[in-house]
Chains A and B, each alone.
Chain A
Amino acid sequence: MNKNVAEIIDALAAHQDNASIEVLEELGTNSPDNEVREYTSRALVRKNVHDSLKIVIVNQGKGINDLSPAVAMSTINEILSLKDKAEVIKILDDTINMHSDESVRENARSVKSLLALS
């Protein structure tokens, strides 16, 4: 992955406004490069806010639902390493109860089980 792209993602992850989350979702999670998607998903998890966590948990093909196992597992590891897990558990519960796609619900259920065990 390009060093400049990594620095840009780190800088966007340090921002507190929603505009940075939109940029990360638009350019990062839709990138064809697996490394960029993985690095962006971890940055969104580290933000630990509702809008950023929602992107990596609810959206199909992004975060824990990424087609690349490396990206999905890296995102799950980043979620498990969060100190404050309240917001992520809330989003996981909403996804398990209300999401229309069964695979997304199954992934959310698995992550919640891992959180309970950790």
Chain B
Amino acid sequence: MNFTIILHAGVATGTVLLFAAIGEIFTERSGILNLGVEGMMLLGAMAGFSISLATESPWLGVLVAMLAGGALSLAHGVVTIHFQADQVVSGLSLTFLGTGLALVLGEGLTGQTPPLLLDYNIPLLSSIPVIGPALFQDHGILVYVGYLAAPLAWYYINKTRPGMHLRAVGQKPSAADSVGVNVYGIRYIYTFVGGCLAGLAGAIISLSVSPGWYSSQTTSGQGWIAIALVIFAQWNPMRAALGGYLFGMLRRLILDLQGPRILLGFANPLYINSNYSFFLIMTPYVLTIIALIFGSRAVAKKRAGSPSALGLPYVRGERGK
């Protein structure tokens, strides 16, 4: 167990959650709840992997993965924005649709080796002791982009005109509509953005962080963790980034805990009986549930970022919305 190694792995896997969660924050801030993140991620992971395999260009794979996630999210947009259907039902169906498509189209990809995204070092920064090698060495470009993505997203949402319109549409669409803001248009745009970022998150998994195609195990429920992270982060990209990295580190820690024979001076029960490690593997998911319970209570108490029109279709002329 080495802190630098855990941190290094944490930011790498955390980047996946970071992009998916920021995408979902954009979508939910506009008032649309998209529970289909897992499906969009898996489709993205498959699309990125297979395009890279076919074209020898991992970056083209990343682009197509984003478009695939975005296209899937637009289906959700049409159903919930245009036809005003229930967002929970539509989002859940989207998970099935995305997962199903990815599994069918990804048939036979297992074991293939496409060109992957390369790792780079950042000069100077990587020579900082302890955190330098962890944060700025041997990471894909998208990890470095991730460092910038959260503050940029925060700034965009809170300090720019389009960000203000985004928040208004999610909080009180009737107020936005009454001053000529295009509620439907904005909701479509951010639903699409959310889908693209979920697709990107998927491609980061299959082409960089844990490369390969392992059917539904490729994403292994990280889409759901991303959704939980959004609530836990109270719709704030900075907190989502922090949460994402912490989850990433936890995943690495779990692996590391199973290795040594002696742990903190005691015989390691996980080494003696590997069945115990099931409980350990459970931890991120259990933590997700706990974070959800406490997170949503905190949201209910304070007026934290929660968009009050989240999940509600907007119909012009209906009172009180």
* A, B bound: no
Q: Which residues of A contact B (CB under 8 A)?
A: none
- Taking beta carbons and an 8 Å cutoff, which residues of B are in contact with A? none
